[in-house]
Amino acid sequence: METAAKGLSPLEYTTMLVTAIVGNIMFVWPHHVVSAAGENALGSIVVLIAALMLSGLLHHHAVWRATRHRLTRCLLTSAAGLSLTLVVGVDLALLALLLQLMGTLFYADTPRWALLLPLLGIMIWGAGIRLDALGRLTQLWVPLGGTMLAFVSAVALIHATHLRPLWPQNWYLTPMGHGIANMAHLMLPVGPAVVVLAPRVNAARHIVRRAFLVAAGTISVMLLTIYALVMMMLGPNAIVQLHWPLVYSLETITLDSTFFISRMGLAVIFLWTAVVVLSFATHLRLIMQWLLPRRATPPIWGIGGLGLLYSLAVVAFPTPSSATRWILHTLDPIALGYLILQHGLLAVWLGIDSLAQRRRQRTRTIAPIQE
């Protein structure tokens, strides 16, 4: 964990966290949570944001402990590997959904493999460069994407027609619980990103922790902004029927549904695709950094092998429904159980280790007095 050369600035760390955690789910958000929680989805999102912050802070504390305890380091490394394995499963489904979106709305009658090859090439290139170089890429594209999102949201508010669902009249815990369960896959990259990237930031520990809180705040604003935008433009009943609700929300900005062939629409498509592909590349880079922590740049055979694995998305998920079912009905239950178990064991282990350290310090303090 500490063997690789450190080379990330706090800002690069922040943007890499944003890219790794939510960069590739924006185009399907908030379909998954609204399909389960309906108008109570806002409560589920707030709980998710709180859990994301707590998970990141817990992993930061564990990372600093791991610098002195080999067993803690082994446990963290193993947990990160299991989380990254599940992240790959989510990525395959999201990549298939992205290809189906592009083929359905933007590049009709284009074979999916023809859409996949350039995206895969950019992903492999991004994952094959140095970690600090990838950080600088995210430092460029994430602010651009965030600025464009804020501008488009401001324009879309003029055409908002569904204001009541933003704050439901009644709050029900059962739908909120189902919504939280349907978002378990969003929590998977948090632990691996912190474990792999935090020790490589050139800053004091409190600054690294503060950089994570900035990333968590940015993620919270992005999730809530897109949720509010889609709910006000479409309403909860329409969102459930759409695989890509944000796309249809943006189409309603213009009365004749020509947003995506306007100059602003083309800029949105370009920035959107760049951030999504950069998110996949960040996941690939995290996997290679976890496997080969001493290498400044991953070997081409490793990145190429992962690229071939990601290309299976075309075959594994032929329809949007199959990809969505894979995430909601297979990966989310596994991820939810795994995350609860992992965080519970990690908290207990850190608590025991902290008590043992205090006992050792008390013994050292008492021993000179007795002498």
> Quick check: 237 pLDDT over 70?
yes
Give per-residue pLDDT as tens, 43-62. Answer: 889 999 999 999 999 999 88
At what angle are helices 41-66 and 205-234 packed, to 10 degrees? 160
Reduce the secondary structure of 48-97 to three states and give it as a string: HHHHHHHHHHHHHHHHHHHCCCHHHHHHHHHHHHHHHHHHHHHHHHHHHH
Helical H segments across 129-189, by residue range? 131-156, 173-181
- C-alpha 46/C-alpha 286 separation (Å) is 27
3-class state of residue 161 by DSSP: coil
- C-alpha 54/C-alpha 165 separation (Å) is 28
pLDDT band at 104 (very low <50, low <70, confident <90, very high): confident
Average pLDDT (273-280) is 88
Global pTM value: 0.88
Distances 247 to 6, 234, 252 between C-alpha atoms, Å: 39, 11, 9
Percent of the chain having pLDDT more than 90? 27
Q: What is the pLDDT of residue 35?
A: 82
Q: What is the pLDDT of residue 154?
A: 76
pLDDT band at 13 (very low <50, low <70, confident <90, very high): very high
Average pLDDT (239-260) is 69
Beta strands in 141-290 (DSSP E): none
> Quick check: 3 pLDDT over 70?
no
**Residue 67 dihedral angles phi and psi, to the nearest 5°:** -65, -20
Q: What is the pLDDT of residue 207?
A: 93
Q: What is the pLDDT of residue 280?
A: 92
Average pLDDT (331-348) is 91
User: Over the chain, what is the mean pLDDT?
Assistant: 83
Q: What is the pLDDT of residue 106?
A: 75
Give per-residue pLDDT as tens, 78-95. Answer: 889 999 999 999 999 999
pLDDT band at 6 (very low <50, low <70, confident <90, very high): low
Average pLDDT (212-223) is 92
Q: Which domains does the chain have, with CATH numbers?
A: 10-370 (1.20.1740.10)
> Quick check: 256 pLDDT over 70?
no
> Quick check: 36 pLDDT over 80?
yes
Q: What is the pLDDT of residue 10?
A: 93
Residue 177, burial from CB neighbour count under 10 angstroms (0-12, 13-18, 19+):
middle
- C-alpha 171/C-alpha 110 separation (Å) is 45
Residue 90 · residue 331 · CB < 8 Å: yes
Q: In which element (H, E) is residue 300 found?
A: helix 300-311
* Residue 180 tokens, joined: 């939280």
Residue 284, burial from CB neighbour count under 10 angstroms (0-12, 13-18, 19+):
buried
Answer positive or negative: Cα dihedral of 186, 192, 196, 199. Answer: positive
Candidate from 43-47, 140-144, 275-279, 295-299 with smallest mean pLDDT: 295-299
Give per-residue pLDDT as tens, 283-301. Answer: 999 999 998 888 878 888 8
Quick one: how far is CA 202 from the chain centroid? 23
Average pLDDT (346-353) is 84
> Quick check: 166 pLDDT over 90?
no
Q: What is the pLDDT of residue 1?
A: 40
Largest CA distance in the chain: 87
